[in-house]
Amino acid sequence: MLLTLVDAIFLCAFYAVICYVFAPFALEQNTAYLHLAPYALIPIAGRFVMRLIIAKVIAKISYTVEGAVREELVNKLLRVGPLSFAVKSSLSTLFVDALDDIMPYFSSFLVTLRYAMVIPVICVIAVALMSPWSAGILIAMAPLIPFFMIIIGKGAERLNQRQWKQITRLAVRFQEALDKLSLIKLFNIESSEIEKIARLTKRWRVETMQVLRIAFLSALVLEFFATCGIALCAITLGFAVYEHGFDYTKALFVLLLAPEFFLPLRQLGFTYHSRMRALGAMSGLMELLSEKDIFPEIKHIDGLKHQKEGDSNVTTLDSTLDDSWMQAPFAIEFANVSATYPNGRVGLSDFSCKFEPGHVSALVGPSGAGKSTILQSIAGFTNVSTGQIIINGHECSRNDLINLMSKVSYIPQLPNLFYGTLRDNLKLGAPEASDEQLLKALDMVGASELITRFADGLDHHVGDQNRGISGGETRLIALARAMLHDSAILLLDEPTASLDRDSENRFLEALKTLGKDKTVIIVAHRKELIDYATYVIEVNPKKKLNDQANVAASDSKGAQ
């Protein structure tokens, strides 16, 4: 605010020098004040310095705010968990387009608002010292600009929110089409998909044109009232100079300063649309920011465990200070466990079983029975609604499972490789691993041929969404990454899918080495993998319900 105030004072000083030094010389060839001309450089230099400082402050604030917003978004994504419905394809729109729309609010609108609060006040004070009537005209015209700006802005806010929702729908639909491109080609529905995307694009185009129409209308209104204010000042000053002998230098000063009085207000009207766009984009972010946290922030201070304020499961005294149960090997027991997903869907119902260390346990059963949910519950990705997960005799709370994550390697049905080199992806499991260790891990899982297939070896670049790597190779790399991590608990969801017989055999051989003295749980459908397991556990909630019904029926007959 102080910088803006100094800038406004320099502005008035510059026009004062112009009127009282150069105007008499230009109109009357009066050189009496011409020796003061060098002083005009002082306000020019002052305004340049002020604007430079303000620009640097704005850049620093924008950088800080953008970094803070991005950090908060990333932290929120980590807290809501990988299975949250907030983690979807619209994230790219949120992280890119939403931030691009939000940042002008800080770098443009708030700065212009500060100018509009300071510069017109200084200008009207300076004008009042020269011509009170002109100051009255400016004061009378000034409220009309924000009044109409607010009226038009209400409609612009509604249109911006609609436009943001439309571009989000379009981005999600287009991303889904790209992800399922092979299926679209397989079923020959390209024309239908193109038509749907074209229809969404047209809707977004219409919404954008409506926003632009409002923008042009507001600009016209702002220009109209600013022009009317300047014109009224010019007319009254002209009559005052012609009929009443008003000092023309004072009249010139007022006329030069009048546009500067309206300029911040006009710029505020232009940047007001930045505020509308920011509000529209923020509405899209609110869905993610309001998502319930799956992984709360936990802090250990002097034996006390503090969770996020407002959490219904807050415990003041840490009952798990004795962490001896977290020492490998791990015996994991499910006692009547039911688990739900963030959207409320039941993934597992009343499941009981025990997984012994040093053995491979295979989960079998129909699709949707809850096999993957069992792995996700151990990994801490899914809430346990009822029942108890017991590890090494310890009844685990939500926080216990979160703390156990460092000892768990989880390979889902569709493992993911990140954008970067093959070395970068492997080192996620062991940042300090040498190239020799990376190559040994690849060789153990039967993926050493990747190094020979890629001319650049470990420096081979992996594209987004595993581009350049087949599904089977991705699974082998994920297993090698798990080997490097050397976790005590290994959770594998359909690990041999997409693998040929030879690769599957090498995978099973590697698993013998990797799974030694570890707790290995596998979701399996293929016979070879089921035969390999030490224990086969059937997960079939329908069968359990039928068994309960049969028991109830037999009890009823016995009672009769």
User: pLDDT, tens digit, for every residue of 179-192?
Assistant: 777 778 878 888 88
Q: What's the full length of the chain, in residues?
A: 560
Residue 350 has pLDDT above 70, yes or no: yes
pLDDT in tens, 89-112: 556 666 666 777 788 888 778 888
Residues 296/364, Cβ–Cβ less than 8 Å: no
Distance CA 202, CA 306 (A): 51
Mind listing the pLDDT tens digit for each residue in 245-299? 777 788 888 888 888 888 887 777 667 767 777 776 777 677 667 766 666 554 4
**Are the C-beta atoms of 280 and 101 separated by less than 8 Å?**
yes
Residue 352, both tokens: 């009981």
136-157 confidence digits (pLDDT tens): 888 888 777 767 766 666 666 6
Average pLDDT across the chain, whole number: 76
Q: 């079939």: which residue's tokens?
A: 540
pLDDT at position 175 over 80: no
pLDDT of residue 547: 47
Instruction: Count Cα neighbours of 359 within 13 Å in the Cβ-side half-sphere.
Output: 16
Residues 491/363, Cβ–Cβ less than 8 Å: no
Residue 99, both tokens: 């931030």
Whether pLDDT at 354 is above 80:
yes
Segment holding 65, helix H or strand E: helix 41-80
Main-chain dihedrals φ then ψ at residue 317, nearest 5 degrees: -110, 130
- Single-letter code of the amino acid located at 214: I
Output the six-digit token pair for 261.
Answer: 């009085």
Containing H/E element for 420? strand 420-421
**Omega of the bond leading into 366 within 30 degrees of 0 (cis):** no
Q: How confident is the model at residue 332 (pLDDT cuts 50, 70, 90)?
A: very high
Q: Which residue has the higher pLDDT, 24 or 135?
A: 135
Question: 498 and 471 in contact (C-beta within 8 Å)?
Answer: yes
* pLDDT band at 334; cut points 50, 70, 90: very high
Q: Does 35 score more than 50 pLDDT?
A: yes
Region 167-177 average pLDDT: 77
β-strand pairing of 394-395 with 360-364: unpaired
More confident residue, 300 or 30: 30
CB count within 10 Å of CB 34 equals 12
* Largest distance between two CA atoms of the chain: 125
pLDDT band for position 84 (cuts 50, 70, 90): low
Taking CA atoms, 392 is separated from 135, 323, 487, 519, in Å, by: 82, 11, 16, 12
Please give the average per-residue pLDDT across 403-432, as a whole number: 84
Residue 312 has pLDDT above 60, yes or no: no
How would DSSP label each residue in 306-335? Answer: E--TT-TT--SB-TT---GGGSSS--EEEE
Q: What are the Cα distances from residue 140, in Å, to 227, 262, 292, 338?
A: 14, 12, 51, 69
pLDDT at 464 over 80: no
Map residue 451 onto helix, strand or coil: helix
Give the pLDDT confidence score for residue 47 in this predicted structure: 80
pLDDT in tens, 187-209: 888 888 888 888 888 888 888 88
Q: For residue 175, which of 96, 99, 93 has the smallest C-alpha distance?
A: 93
pLDDT of residue 294: 62
